[in-house]
Amino acid sequence: MPLVTTKDMLIRAKRGGYAVGAFNAENMEMAQAIIFAAKELNAPVIIQTTPSTLRYASLDLFWGNIEALAKNTGVPVALHLDHGDSFDLCAQALRAGYTSVMIDGSRLPLDQNIALTRRVVEICSPSGVPVEGEIGCVGGKEDDSEGRSGYTVPAEAVSFESETGVSSMAVGIGTAHGVYRAEPVLDMRLLRKLVESISSPLVLHGASGLTDSAIRECVREGICKVNFATELRIAYSEGVRQVLCGEVSVFDPKTYGKSGRSRVQELVMERIKVCGCDGKAAYG
């Protein structure tokens, strides 16, 4: 089927009490692995690219790969710009055929974040492309930007939602991007308050490295989209390293590419099950 947007996908997840896994792809093999996993488990899925990934290869190149894969897979696939860092990049993603975009103005003062996010919503709305915003900065290192840690203030989130018209909202409840050095303490009380206060589906960033039980608890409390990036990069690299370090005569990129792809597919399947969206393709 053709690429779909994340709007209906996340609304159905909210109603159904599960979350859709959102997985960052860095190359063709990782995109294949994500879609193979979704097809195997009959699950809706979101494939994401970040600004640094799009400096490595273009929006058009990723769109072409993922559109071709989605066309023959039979499950709902959305292509999402993750952590869009400017109005211009969001506009370029929209023109390239991305079916969902995120504008991350979380490091800006609240009024500037609202103004920037609203501008992106205004250009995406005529095409029916949903926009994810962020309020309350998720800590750690995302892409090539260092983020301060900050919890979302419910009253600010309410204003952000009403003044921007976002379709979904990434919130800060104690997660961080990158590799955790210690187990994070998630503020579930804050999450419950945000779910009560906000009608838009909520997004959990920084899920790589969280325990399965922590992710399941967040989903039970109302998270509708869970982002995974760092652990997929690690899995792919481990698969490649296993081949190259074990067999010095290997020179065909397809050989170690398959190994990396297999590792990523296995991990994505595990995470889809943790999110509870396996078997939900018909309702994705």
pLDDT at position 32 is 98
Nearest to 164 by CA among 257, 220, 101: 101
- Phi and psi at 177, nearest 5°, equal -80, 155
Mean pLDDT of 222-232: 96
pLDDT, tens digit (0-9, with 9 covering 90-100), for 96-147: 999 999 999 999 999 999 999 999 999 999 999 999 999 986 654 545 544 4
Angle between helices 28-41 and 253-275 (to 10 degrees): 40
Across the chain, mean pLDDT equals 92
**248: helix, coil or strand?**
coil
pLDDT at position 196 is 97
pLDDT at position 250 is 87
Residue 253 tokens, joined: 């990129």
Residue 2 tokens, joined: 């053709």
Strand 176-177's sheet: what is its strand order?
145-147, 139-142, 176-177
Query: Are residues 44 and 284 in contact, defined by beta-carbon separation less than 8 angstroms?
Result: yes
| 143/177 Cα distance (integer angstroms) | 9
Q: What residues have CB less than 8 Å from 224, skipping those under 6 apart?
A: 10, 13, 14, 19, 20, 168, 201, 202, 203
pLDDT at position 214 is 94
pLDDT, tens digit (0-9, with 9 covering 90-100), for 145-191: 444 457 899 999 999 999 999 999 999 998 775 554 556 779 999 99
pLDDT, tens digit (0-9, with 9 covering 90-100), for 25-65: 999 999 999 999 999 999 999 999 999 999 999 999 999 99
pLDDT, tens digit (0-9, with 9 covering 90-100), for 65-80: 999 999 989 999 999 9
Catalytic, out of 82, 85, 104, 278: 82
Query: Are residues 232 and 24 in contact, defined by beta-carbon separation less than 8 angstroms?
Result: yes
pLDDT, tens digit (0-9, with 9 covering 90-100), for 238-272: 999 999 998 668 899 999 999 999 999 999 999 99
pLDDT at position 178 is 56
Identify whether 82 is a catalytic site residue: yes
209: alpha, beta or left, given left = phi > 0 and alpha = psi -120 to 50? left
Mean pLDDT of 82-107: 97
| 184/67 Cα distance (integer angstroms) | 36
Nearest to 116 by CA among 128, 129, 133: 133
pLDDT at position 28 is 97
